[in-house]
Amino acid sequence: MIHSNTSLSENLEDYLETIFHLEKVNKVARVKDIADKLGVLRGSVTGALKSLAEKELINYEPYSFITLTRKGTTIAREISRRHAIIKSFLKDVLQLDGERAETNACRMEHAMDKAAIDRLVQFIDYIHTCPRTGADWITAFVDYYSKKTPAREKCDQCMDACMTRHLESQPT
C-alpha cells in the first residue's frame, strides 16, 4: 500500500462533502443519496467510494453504509467551511440571490487556497466590525448597483448616520 494520497480531485472533494452532509442529516450516507445529490448514476458513485476508501477517508465495505473516517471528517469539514464562507460572501456581501450564491460557491470552493479563504473571512469580519462599514453600508451597496446614481445628499445623510452611530457607541 503505497497509496492513501492526500491531494483530492475536485470531484472527490464533492463526494466527500456530500457524504459529510448526508452523515449529518441521516447518520449515514447511502450510494443512492450521494448519486442523487451529485446528479450522477449509482455506478459512478461506487467507483468514487473505492477511491475515497483507498485514501482512507471513508469506511466502506460493499453493500454497507458509508461513514467518514476521522481523517475524512477533518477534510470534509474544511471543504464545507470554505463553501459556507464563500456563499456567505456572495450572498450577504455581494447580495447575489441564494441559488446563484450556492452554485458559484460550489465551484469556487475548489479554486481558493487556505490563505485566500482565511483572508476572506477576515475581510467579512472587518466589514461587520469597522464602524465605517457594517450592515447599512452593504444595504447602500444595493442602492449603488441598482440605481447607479449616488446622490450627494444621500451620501451626506449616510455619513452622518454612520458618524452618529459611532459616537453613540462611545464608552462613557
Partner DNA sequence: TATGTTTGTTTGGCATGCCTAACAATTTGC
Partner DNA sequence: GCAAATTGTTAGGCATGCCAAACAAACATA
Strand, coil or helix: 12: helix
In this structure, what C-alpha cell is assigned to residue 160?
A: 452622518
Closest CB to DNA among residues 30, 77: 30
Of 4, 65, 72, which Cα lies nearest the Cα of 34?
Answer: 65
Instruction: Centre a 10 Å sphere on the Cβ of residue 137 and count the other Cβ atoms it contains.
Output: 15
Choice between 31 and 105, CB closer to a second copy:
105
Least distance to a second copy from the beta carbon of 91, Å?
A: 11
Choose the contact partner of 51 out of a second copy, DNA, none; CB within 5 to 8 A by kind: DNA
Cβ 77 to DNA shortest distance, Å: 20
Q: Cβ(127)–Cβ(133) under 8 Å?
A: yes
Instruction: Please report, as ranges, the residues that interact with a second copy according to CB under 8 A.
Output: 90, 93-96, 100, 103-104, 107-108, 110-113, 115-116, 119-120, 122-123, 125-126, 129-133, 137, 140-141, 144-145, 150, 152, 155-156, 158-159, 162-163, 166, 171
Q: Catalog residues that contact DNA under the rule CB under 7 A.
A: 9-12, 30-33, 35, 38-49, 51, 62-63
- Other beta carbons within 10 angstroms of residue 97's beta carbon come to 9
Write down the least CB distance from residue 112 to DNA, Å: 18
Angle at the Cα of 107 from the Cα atoms of 90 and 113, rounded to 5 degrees: 85
Out of a second copy, DNA, none, which partner does residue 122 contact, by CB within 5 to 8 A per kind? a second copy
Could you please report the per-residue DSSP string of 151-165?
-HHHHHHHHHHHHHH
In the complex, what is the shortest distance from the CB of residue 164 to DNA, in angstroms, rounded to a whole number? 54
CB of 170 to a second copy, least distance (A): 8
Whether residue 74 contacts residue 54, with contact meaning beta carbons closer than 8 Å, is answered with no
